[in-house]
């Protein structure tokens, strides 16, 4: 009996160790179809498949908030998330104040800037965020970064769920319902030149709603936003530059992944930065300096080792 118990304990230890290192396959949270995270995750997977050094399996998720939770609970090994959400969840701040801090994940590389898009039909009488009062608005999927950003932006204008009819829709459904007139507006937190917005602009005439200076200042003072301008002609029919706020998209990993795995993943991203730019509909500008800018959580030791060998020191956990 003692021998059997010892054997079972040994087996459990092996299984736990396998789980703690992420095993041979890296489970990569890819968010929803139609978004830039999905494009980036699948592009990284394709590059890894061709390279042969890492095995990656992509998993559909709701988005940034879900990704940090799933990483913290060890259901994912890697994901791309908004920098503001990674920071707030790690520190138990803002939208994560009630639920408490989430840990068990760290940064690898900052990838691209994501702008908060507020999209309406061109024939709409909505010309400012204030005009969303009493309207039906898609705020993004539940537990997505778009949802949290939408709620924060609406709140900056004194609007809440009692004043705006909020709907949790994924990118594709939001675009379809906006085109069909089932909703009045949609929030998308995405990199510039986002496919879903560009395709929508080809299906129906749209306009982008800007965020005024007072609201931008309020959002920057309270959260981890940065200033952003969506240049004119970014989307079909967009004749004017639009002011908004933005966040950085960051590749993060489960702390249980080994130093070797994460160092290989970091190198994979940098070695194939040009291919990522060609396959992802966002301005993926990955350089050593920009990769660590605006990342406010500790880096994984595997990523830190990669940067250290190239003369860059980053903060690590523990």
pLDDT digits 0-9 by tens, 72-109: 999 999 999 999 999 999 999 988 998 899 999 999 99
Spell out where the chain has E strands. Answer: 25-29, 55-59, 78-82, 105-121, 136-138, 165-167, 185-191, 206-208, 226-230, 242-254
| Calpha distance 138→182 (Å, rounded) | 10
Q: Which helix (H) or strand (E) holds 17?
A: helix 2-20
Residues 6+ apart with CB under 8 A from 251: 78, 79, 80, 107, 108, 109, 110, 111, 265, 269
How many whole angstroms separate alpha carbon 174 and alpha carbon 34? 11
| pLDDT value for 304 | 98
Neighbouring-strand partners of residue 114: 191, 247
Partners of 112 in the beta sheet?
249
Q: Which residues pair with 78 in a beta bridge?
A: 28, 253
Confidence check: pLDDT of 191 > 70 = yes
Q: Which of 296, 132, 163, 153 is nearest to 222 (CA)?
A: 153
The CATH number that domain 115-247 falls under is 3.40.190.10
Give tens-digit pLDDT for 160-183.
999 999 999 999 999 999 999 999
Instruction: Enumerate the β-bridge partners of residue 228.
Output: 244
Question: What's the pLDDT score for residue 243?
Answer: 98
d(CA 263, CA 38): 22
Smallest Cα–Cα separation from 247: which of 30, 86, 23, 42? Answer: 86
Predicted pLDDT at 190: 92
**CATH fold of the domain at 2-114+249-308:** D-Maltodextrin-Binding Protein; domain 2 (3.40.190)
State the pLDDT at residue 45.
Answer: 97
- φ/ψ of 278, rounded to 5, equals -75, -25
272 Rama sector, left if φ>0, alpha if ψ -120 to 50, beta otherwise: alpha
pLDDT for residue 33: 77
State the span(s) of the chain assigned CATH 3.40.190.10. Answer: 2-114+249-308, 115-247
Q: How far apart are CA 271 and CA 83, in angstroms?
A: 23
Exposed, middle or buried, 194 (CB in 10 Å: 0-12/13-18/19+)? buried
Task: Provide, rounded to the nearest whole percent, the portion of the chain with pLDDT above 90.
Answer: 81
How far is Cα 100 from Cα 158, in angstroms, rounded to an integer?
25
Q: Per-residue pLDDT averaged across 275-304, rounded?
A: 91
What pLDDT sits at residue 34? Answer: 73
| Tens-place pLDDT, residues 34-55 | 788 999 999 999 999 999 999 9
pTM of the prediction?
Answer: 0.83
**Dihedral-angle region of residue 305 (phi above 0 means left; psi in -120 to 50 means alpha; beta otherwise):** alpha
Mean pLDDT of the chain: 91
Query: In angstroms, how far is CA 177 from the centroid of its own chain?
Result: 23
Q: What confidence category does residue 115 fall into, taking pLDDT thresholds of 50, 70 and 90?
A: very high
pLDDT confidence of residue 209: 98
Pairing status of strand 78-82 against strand 165-167: unpaired
Mean pLDDT, to the nearest integer, of 103-122? 96
Dist CA 109 CA 252 (whole Å): 7
Q: Please check whether residue 248 is in contact with residue 114, taking contact to mean a CB–CB distance below 8 angstroms.
A: yes
């Amino acid at each position: 009996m003692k021998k059997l118990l010892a054997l079972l304990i040994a087996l459990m230890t092996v299984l736990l160790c396998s789980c703690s290192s992420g095993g041979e396959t890296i489970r990569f949270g890819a968010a929803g179809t139609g978004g830039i995270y999905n494009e980036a995750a699948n592009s990284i997977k394709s590059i890894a498949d061709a390279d042969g050094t890492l095995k990656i399996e992509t998993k559909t998720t709701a988005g940034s908030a879900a990704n940090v939770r799933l990483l913290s609970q060890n259901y994912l090994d890697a994901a791309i998330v908004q920098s503001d959400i990674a920071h707030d969840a790690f520190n138990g701040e803002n939208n994560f104040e009630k639920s408490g801090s989430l840990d068990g994940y760290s940064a690898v590389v900052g990838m691209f800037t994501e702008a908060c898009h507020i999209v309406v039909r061109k024939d709409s009488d909505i010309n400012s965020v204030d005009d969303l009062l009493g309207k039906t608005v898609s705020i993004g999927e539940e537990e997505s970064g778009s949802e949290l950003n939408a709620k924060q932006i609406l709140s900056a204008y004194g609007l809440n769920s009692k004043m705006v009819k909020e709907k949790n829709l994924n990118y594709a459904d939001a675009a379809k319902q906006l085109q069909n007139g089932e909703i009045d507006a949609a929030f998308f937190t995405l990199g510039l030149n986002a496919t879903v917005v560009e395709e929508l602009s080809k299906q129906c005439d749209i306009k982008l709603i800007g965020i005024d200076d007072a609201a931008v200042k309020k959002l920057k003072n309270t959260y981890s936003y940065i200033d952003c301008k969506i240049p004119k002609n970014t989307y079909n029919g967009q004749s004017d530059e639009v002011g908004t706020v933005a966040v950085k998209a960051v590749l993060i990993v489960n702390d249980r992944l080994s130093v070797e795995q994460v160092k290989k993943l970091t190198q994979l991203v940098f070695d194939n930065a040009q291919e990522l730019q060609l396959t992802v509909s966002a301005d993926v500008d990955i350089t050593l300096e920009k990769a660590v800018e605006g990342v406010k959580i500790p880096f994984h030791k595997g990523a830190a080792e990669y940067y250290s060998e190239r003369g860059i020191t980053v903060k690590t956990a523990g």
